């Protein structure tokens, strides 16, 4: 199954459908298995330019997962080098068209603009946050790598990755939920109302010795 919930873990694998995406909500902790594709801004530009010229993408993107990453070269004996996420807003200008090509899941770092938020709702897709600054750790979940297009772009070439338990958090769901915005709203509410900070032993009520 493309989306499988087992205990506290949500396992995701492509290809994904609208019904699969509908099972996911902002804040879900997920792990990816199977095939995901990499593409950063240079690869996105070529994909979209090609589509506008009537050219098919290098692979069928229907229901697929795109990870915004430009991995470093692999050390001897390793499949891939550090593979931390790229700032996602760099892909915002291309994202609605990528979703129109069939992509159903995006993985990157940081928030998305209003146009992308709307496109995720329109195309019934979702966006996940990978762990920024943990590229070496994330690379351990990548078990295979194949360059499939734009090899001249070097680290930004489009790649096919085989992953096993690649961790992420669902940030934006197809219903308009946005984990980062929820966090901002919660912070603003706390800033406005204040937060409870017990004085003395945890849970003990504050007293003044006689109520005066």
* Residues catalogued as catalytic: 44
- Backbone phi and psi for residue 127, each to the nearest 5 degrees, phi listed first: -130, 135
Match 């995006």 to its residue by tokens. 106
* Contact of 88 with 110, CB cutoff 8 Å: yes
Exposed/middle/buried for residue 11 (C-beta within 10 Å: 0-12, 13-18, 19+): middle
Rounded CA separation 174/211 (Å) = 53
| SS3 state of residue 181 | helix
* Contact of 160 with 145, CB cutoff 8 Å: yes
Q: Which of 163, 173, 174, 179 is nearest to 11 (CA)?
A: 163
- The vertex-86 CA angle with 176 and 35, nearest 5°, equals 80
């Amino acid at each position: 199954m493309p989306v499988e919930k087992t205990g506290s873990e949500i396992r995701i694998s492509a290809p994904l459908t609208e019904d699969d995406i509908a099972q996911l909500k902002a804040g879900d902790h997920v792990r990816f298995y199977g095939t995901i594709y990499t593409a950063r801004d240079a690869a996105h530009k070529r994909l979209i330019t090609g589509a506008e010229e009537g050219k098919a993408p290098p692979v069928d993107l229907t229901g697929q997962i795109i990870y915004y990453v430009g991995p470093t070269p692999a050390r001897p004996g390793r499949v891939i080098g550090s593979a931390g996420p790229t700032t996602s807003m760099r892909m915002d200008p291309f994202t609605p068209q990528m979703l129109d090509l069939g992509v159903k899941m995006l993985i990157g770092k940081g928030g998305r603009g209003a146009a992308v938020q709307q496109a995720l709702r329109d195309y019934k897709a979702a966006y996940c946050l990978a762990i920024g600054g943990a590229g070496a750790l994330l690379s351990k979940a990548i078990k295979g790598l194949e360059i499939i297009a734009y090899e001249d772009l070097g680290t930004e070439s489009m790649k096919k990755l085989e992953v096993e338990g690649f961790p992420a958090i669902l940030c934006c769901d197809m219903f308009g939920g946005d984990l980062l915005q929820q966090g901002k709203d919660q912070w603003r509410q706390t800033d406005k109302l204040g937060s409870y900070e017990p004085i003395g032993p945890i849970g003990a009520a504050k007293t003044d010795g006689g109520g005066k």
